[in-house]
Amino acid sequence: MDFKNAIFIIVASIVFLISFAGCTESDSTTSNETCEIVYATIQTNYGNMTFELYPDKAPITVENFKKYAESGFYEETIFHRVISDFMVQGGGFNIDGTKKETLDPIKNEADNGLSNKRGTIAMARTTIVDSATSQFFINTVDNSYLDYQDDSNYGYAVFGKMIDGFDVLDEIENVATANNGQYQNWPVENVIIEKVTIEE
């Protein structure tokens, strides 16, 4: 084998390995054909927000979100908790303010290495670690203190990040809110999730 052929084989091997490398949150150059990415668009009465989801990092969480989205569960629900310089939360209440029945809780995947940065989507939960069901939140600022620290401070599972619609997120973040019975930070005017669509 001559020197040129040897170099060609080495370069071809490197290209092959790179093309089949895993996809991470920060890998914006790898195409969807070689990355395990799911796209979700949250259509609201304020406009659309599109996310790329990471089943390689949060398989249980992404599958759970897909089930709710594809069943139509999120249609005509609301963002019921909006806190400026923090996050917007939705996916659990009807327009009339009644709470929706959900599937069983899922395992918390906050230890997946993804951080609660601005524009990321994560699962809401109670003080019980593995209690997330349908509700999710979108970080409007970097909230790294919500990340997994250890088993006693498990954090909130990020499963995707926004790739389009930051203007919509900013508008929702700044709506007027008030108390609504036992709930605080409830938008005065409904912020409606009209539909969530999934593309793979």
Q: What is the pLDDT of residues 75-120, one digit of tens each?
A: 999 999 999 999 999 999 999 999 999 999 999 999 999 999 999 9
Cα distance between residue 117 and residue 160, in whole Å: 10
pLDDT tens by residue, 147-195: 999 999 999 999 999 999 999 999 999 999 999 999 999 999 999 999 9
Cα distance between residue 69 and residue 65, in whole Å: 6
136 close to 90: Cβ distance less than 8 angstroms: yes
Query: Does 2 fall in a domain?
Result: no
Query: Does 24 fall in a domain?
Result: no
Domain that holds residue 64: 36-199
Query: Does 25 fall in a domain?
Result: no
Asked whether residue 30 carries a pLDDT value surpassing 70, the answer given is no
- DSSP 8-state class, residue 146: G
Total-model pTM? 0.85
If one counts the domains in the chain, the total is 1
Query: Does 7 fall in a domain?
Result: no
Query: Does 15 fall in a domain?
Result: no
Query: Does 69 fall in a domain?
Result: yes
